[in-house]
């Protein structure tokens, strides 16, 4: 992601990059959903444990990718309604450095840290 000549983030480029990642995630999620981990054969206990572990891993990957997907959808909506780069909590502009590192950030660093602390409780 590059800055425009004025030093501000180029929203068209951000949007383009997010749309590419959104398409990638849609393909990956569809692939994971259609993937068959186990056969229909009777499995011994070792195979059952292995299959169970693989299913848990796939579920975790799906959850992580779906979370990223929903964050991207939210960021694209914020770009469309003119609120992209504004913290959801304190209404202050999110630092450009943070947006470069994490384009779909919806909170400034301080509010994100406070949010994560609340989630851990």
73-100 residue pLDDT tens = 988 999 999 899 999 999 999 998 898 8
Task: Let me know if residue 2 belongs to a domain.
Answer: no
Which burial class, exposed, middle or buried, applies to 93 when counting CB atoms under 10 A from its CB (0-12, 13-18, 19+)?
exposed
Rounded to whole angstroms, the Cα distance separating 80 from 43 reads 51
pLDDT digits (tens, 9 = 90+) for 1-14: 444 444 467 888 88
CATH number for the domain that contains residue 115: 1.20.120.910
Confidence (pTM): 0.70
Alpha helices in 3-106 (DSSP H): 11-34, 45-81, 96-101
Rounded to whole angstroms, the Cα distance separating 6 from 25 reads 32
By residue range, what is the domain housing residue 92?
Answer: 11-120
Count of domains for the chain: 1
Structure tokens at 94: 């999110």
Task: Let me know if residue 6 belongs to a domain.
Answer: no
Q: Given the structure tokens 């630092």, which residue do they identify?
A: 95
């Amino acid at each position: 992601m590059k800055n425009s000549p004025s030093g501000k983030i180029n929203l068209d480029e951000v949007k383009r990059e997010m749309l590419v990642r959104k398409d990638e995630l849609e393909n990956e999620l569809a692939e994971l959903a259609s993937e068959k981990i186990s056969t229909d054969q009777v499995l011994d206990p070792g195979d059952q444990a292995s299959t169970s572990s693989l299913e848990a891993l796939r579920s975790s990957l799906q959850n992580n990718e779906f979370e990223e997907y929903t964050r991207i959808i939210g960021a694209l909506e914020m770009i469309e309604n003119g609120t992209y780069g504004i913290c959801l909590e304190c209404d202050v502009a999110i630092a450009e450095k943070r947006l470069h590192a994490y384009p779909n950030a919806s909170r400034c660093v301080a509010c994100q840290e406070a949010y994560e602390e609340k989630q851990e409780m």
